[in-house]
């Protein structure tokens, strides 16, 4: 008899972290910096907590299920890292033609005088991401990696150069460091 193909992965839970999994496949991770909640659901993938480990298993996995097990593991590790140390992105304002001025207003980053434009450009700040402006540097911090990285992408996208030669007009706000 041949053995049934199966994937079994384990993630160890740090001591200062509490993880709860309910029947609706909602995973709640709580730590010193806060708590995150996410639904990790697939019919053939089973997620269970036993002691100080989270076990992810799948019987008769296909290519999609194998990839999804890895994705679930990455999500759980990112949630654990977020509630323990958090995430920090650093961005730098670069200009050679017109001085760019960045300010914060409510849940938006306002970018004034980009390429000498009359009206400001705006980028949305998602979730509990905090943005700090120090001169020509922006520091984005938060516990949810998706919201911090999406906020950084919004700021970068807001300063995208259109209808000009990008080799000459390299002005913008760019991500310089992704850390924690």
- Are residues 130 and 101 located together in one domain of the fold? yes
pTM across the whole model: 0.89
The answer to whether residues 173 and 99 belong to one domain is yes
**Residue 103 binned pLDDT confidence (cut-offs 50, 70, 90):** very high
Encode pLDDT of 15-64 as tens digits.
999 999 988 789 999 999 999 999 999 999 999 998 899 999 998 888 99
The sheet with strand 108-112 has its strands ordered as 101-105, 108-112, 121-124
- Backbone φ and ψ for 167, nearest 5 degrees, come out as -75, -25
> What's the pLDDT tens digit per position in 140-149?
999 999 999 9
> Does any domain span residue 73?
yes
> Quick one: 140 and 63 in the same domain?
no
Domain of residue 35 covers 6-84
* Residue 41 located in a structural domain: yes
Do 70 and 26 lie in one domain? The reply is yes
| 155 pLDDT higher than 90 | yes
Q: Tell whether the model's pLDDT for residue 100 goes beyond 80.
A: yes
Which pLDDT band, with edges at 50, 70 and 90, does 111 fall under?
A: very high
Domain boundary residue, one of 84, 119, 140 = 84
Per-residue model confidence as pLDDT tens digits over 115-141: 899 999 999 999 999 999 999 999 999
Q: What is the mean pLDDT of residues 93-115?
A: 93
In a domain, 1, yes or no: no
Q: How many domains does the chain have?
A: 2
What pLDDT is stored for residue 156 in this prediction? 96
Distances (CA, A) of 35 to 19, 27, 30, 136, 152: 10, 10, 4, 32, 22
- CATH number of the domain enclosing 138: 3.90.930.12
């Amino acid at each position: 008899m041949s053995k049934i193909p199966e994937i079994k992965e384990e993630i160890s839970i740090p001591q200062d972290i509490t993880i709860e999994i309910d029947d609706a496949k909602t995973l709640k991770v709580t730590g010193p910096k806060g708590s995150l909640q996410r639904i990790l659901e697939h019919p053939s993938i089973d997620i269970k907590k036993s002691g100080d480990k989270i076990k992810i298993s799948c019987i008769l996995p296909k290519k999609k299920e194998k990839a999804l097990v890895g994705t679930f593991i990455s999500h759980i590790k990112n949630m654990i890292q977020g509630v323990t140390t958090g995430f920090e992105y650093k961005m730098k304002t670069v200009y050679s033609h017109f001085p760019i001025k960045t300010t914060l207003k409510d849940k938006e980053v306002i970018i004034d005088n980009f390429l000498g434009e009359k009206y400001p450009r705006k980028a949305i700040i998602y979730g509990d991401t905090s943005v700090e402006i120090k001169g020509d540097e922006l520091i984005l911090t938060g516990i949810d990696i998706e919201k911090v990285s999406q906020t950084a992408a919004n700021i970068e996208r807001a300063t995208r150069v259109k209808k000009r030669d990008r080799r000459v007009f390299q002005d913008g706000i760019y991500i310089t460091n992704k850390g924690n």
